[in-house]
């Protein structure tokens, strides 16, 4: 059984083929800064046509035509880029070793890699879902939690997801036999072709062999692990669905050693470049802070760094007291630690955090990562929020996934309740599990977007 209909796959395949040919034309145009003449275009299109049959084998092997290729859209950039890189390598070997092709494109292959990757991603993520027939995959959700109800509502509401939950089975309200009977009726009637469930839930221990038989032996249905779908839809990890066993299998630090090394290089280079800007504007910032209330321009804070080790961070002062409550200037305000007028601007533009570039250069924190807590607050949250320490499995950062993805109540810039803190942890755990240079770049881009939006408001 296929997740998508034959018609949907044919549309997907036709679009991919069109994109490959269009990419050749666009590449030639960019390479020669003009519309390619007919002879040049035919020579390249003919040569590339021989390659496309080989390339589609690589596409299949890399998962571009695998199950739920439409559902898990956020994995597409990496899959497409890896597949295209391999394809360009294959093309280079053939073009340079077989005289039959009669072309030896060097620059063209590099341009083609970038063009085809961008066009394939745009087609797969933004165009194809809008052409696809809506809600053609019926699904049943097995499990009960607030996150699962949220997942069901969001997937059914969003027209870009072809999946529709048509039934929810609550394991704690039904016997094993009742669950099996319900699944059998739903699948045999054709109403449902996909089962979404928590494979690690002990409440389903007696049901999983039956689900395995339906999905892997009889092939009468497909199976999706609920955490994978939840993370795809919300880009955060559902805390109520994780356990120590799941964390050990999914939050792997060793496998990110190359990424950590490259990220450190980026941190050093960026902190040096941005540090020049920080040094240039620091005298003006310090003067403005001094003029308002006469207090110090810089403050030091004891915060939590990677592996829960304490670090000292520096900031431009934005409050009448320091952010961790050390009083600086009373100025008749009855001891209330409030944001200053200059501080409001510094916070809106993130200028107050520029001194932390020194901490980035030292390695105390990174440019991107979960925001570090004040020492006292961290100790309280560890006692209250499950798995809270895990956000410090990576180096904290100047900006992070939660800061750019989470919407706080009343326009706050940080969590002001346990509920918001739990939500922030879901985003932080998503970052810890999925961290990459591509995700870091996305976070930095969104940070600039958030800052510019605040300046315009």
Could you tell me the pTM of the whole model?
0.74
Which long-range contacts does 243-246 make (Cβ < 8 Å, 24+ apart)?
243/200, 245/200, 246/200
pLDDT score recorded for residue 84: 80
pLDDT score recorded for residue 326: 45
pLDDT score recorded for residue 331: 46
Identify the H or E element spanning 225: strand 222-225
CA 82 to chain centre: 18
> What is the DSSP track for 55-71?
HHHHHHHHTTTSTTTTT
pLDDT score recorded for residue 364: 95
Q: How far apart are the first and last CA of the chain?
A: 51
Angle at 180 between CA 174 and CA 184, to 5 degrees: 130
Q: Where are the alpha helices (DSSP H) in 103-225?
A: 107-122, 128-131, 146-157, 176-188, 208-212
Tokens of 168: 């929810």
Give whole-number Cα distances, 127 to 55, 116, 157, 229, in Å. 22, 15, 19, 21
Show pLDDT as tens, one digit a residue, over the chain (457 residues).
344 556 777 888 899 999 989 998 898 898 888 888 888 788 778 778 877 888 888 888 777 776 556 667 667 777 787 888 888 788 777 777 766 555 556 677 788 888 988 898 888 877 887 776 566 789 999 987 778 888 999 888 887 777 899 999 988 888 889 999 999 999 999 899 899 998 777 788 889 899 999 988 888 888 988 888 898 888 898 887 777 777 777 776 556 788 899 999 999 999 999 999 999 999 999 999 989 888 889 999 999 999 999 999 999 998 886 555 444 444 444 456 688 889 889 988 889 999 999 999 999 999 999 999 999 899 999 999 989 999 999 999 999 999 888 877 666 667 778 888 999 999 999 999 889 888 898 899 888 877 776 655 4
pLDDT score recorded for residue 336: 61
Non-local CB neighbours of 265 within 8 Å, separated by 6+ positions: none
CA 422 to chain centre: 18
Residue 399 DSSP symbol? E
pLDDT score recorded for residue 328: 45
Identify the H or E element spanning 137: strand 137-142
- Interaxial angle between packed helices 107-122 and 76-97, expressed in degrees from 0 to 180 and rounded to the nearest 10: 150
In angstroms, the CA 60 to CA 18 distance is 17
Using alpha carbons, select from 151, 183, 150, 188 the residue that is nearest to residue 169: 183
30 and 111 Cβ atoms separated by less than 8 Å: yes
In angstroms, the CA 347 to CA 225 distance is 41
Which residues, in sequence order, are bridge partners of residue 224?
196
Tokens of 199: 């494979």
pLDDT score recorded for residue 333: 46
Which long-range contacts does 414-419 make (Cβ < 8 Å, 24+ apart)?
414/371, 418/384, 418/385
pLDDT score recorded for residue 327: 43
């Amino acid at each position: 059984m296929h997740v998508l209909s034959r018609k949907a796959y044919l549309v997907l395949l036709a679009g991919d083929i069109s994109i490959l040919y269009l990419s050749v034309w666009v590449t030639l145009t960019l390479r020669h800064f003009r519309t390619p003449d007919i002879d040049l275009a035919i020579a390249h299109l003919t040569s590339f046509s021989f390659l496309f049959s080989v390339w589609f084998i690589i596409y299949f092997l890399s998962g571009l035509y695998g199950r739920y290729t439409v559902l898990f859209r956020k994995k597409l950039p990496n899959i497409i880029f890896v597949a295209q890189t391999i394809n360009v390598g294959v093309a280079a070997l053939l073009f340079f070793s077989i005289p039959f092709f009669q072309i030896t494109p060097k620059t063209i292959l590099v341009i083609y890699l970038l063009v085809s990757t961008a066009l394939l991603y745009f087609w797969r993520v933004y165009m194809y879902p809008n052409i696809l027939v809506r809600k053609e995959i019926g699904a049943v959700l097995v499990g009960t939690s607030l996150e699962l109800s949220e997942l069901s509502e969001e997937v059914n509401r969003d027209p870009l997801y072809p999946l529709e939950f048509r039934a929810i089975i609550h394991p704690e309200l039904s016997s094993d036999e009742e669950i099996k009977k319900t699944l059998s009726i739903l699948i045999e009637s054709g109403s449902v072709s996909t089962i979404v469930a928590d494979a690690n839930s002990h409440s389903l221990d007696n049901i999983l062999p039956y689900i395995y038989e339906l999905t892997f032996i009889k092939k009468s249905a497909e199976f999706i692990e609920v955490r994978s779908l939840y993370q795809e839809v919300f880009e955060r990890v559902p805390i109520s669905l994780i356990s120590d066993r799941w964390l050990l299998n999914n939050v792997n630090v060793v496998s990110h050693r190359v990424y950590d090394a490259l990220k450190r290089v980026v941190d050093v280079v960026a902190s040096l470049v941005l540090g020049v800007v920080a040094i240039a504007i620091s005298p003006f910032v310090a003067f403005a802070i001094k003029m308002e209330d006469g207090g110090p321009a810089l403050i030091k804070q004891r915060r939590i760094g990677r592996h829960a080790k304490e670090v000292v961070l520096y900031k431009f002062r934005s409050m009448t007291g320091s952010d961790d409550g050390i009083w600086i200037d009373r100025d008749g305000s009855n001891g209330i630690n409030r944001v200053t007028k200059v501080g409001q601007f510094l916070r809106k533009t993130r200028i107050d955090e520029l001194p932390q570039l020194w901490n980035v250069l030292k390695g105390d924190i990174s440019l991107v990562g979960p925001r570090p807590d004040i020492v006292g607050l961290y100790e309280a949250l560890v006692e209250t929020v499950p798995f809270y320490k895990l956000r410090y499995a990576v180096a904290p950062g100047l900006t992070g996934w939660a800061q750019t993805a989470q919407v706080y109540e009343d326009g706050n810039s940080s969590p002001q309740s346990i509920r918001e803190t739990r939500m922030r942890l879901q985003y932080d755990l998503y970052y810890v599990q999925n961290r990459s240079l591509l995700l870091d770049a996305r976070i930095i881009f969104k940070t600039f977007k958030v800052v510019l939006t605040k300046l315009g408001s």
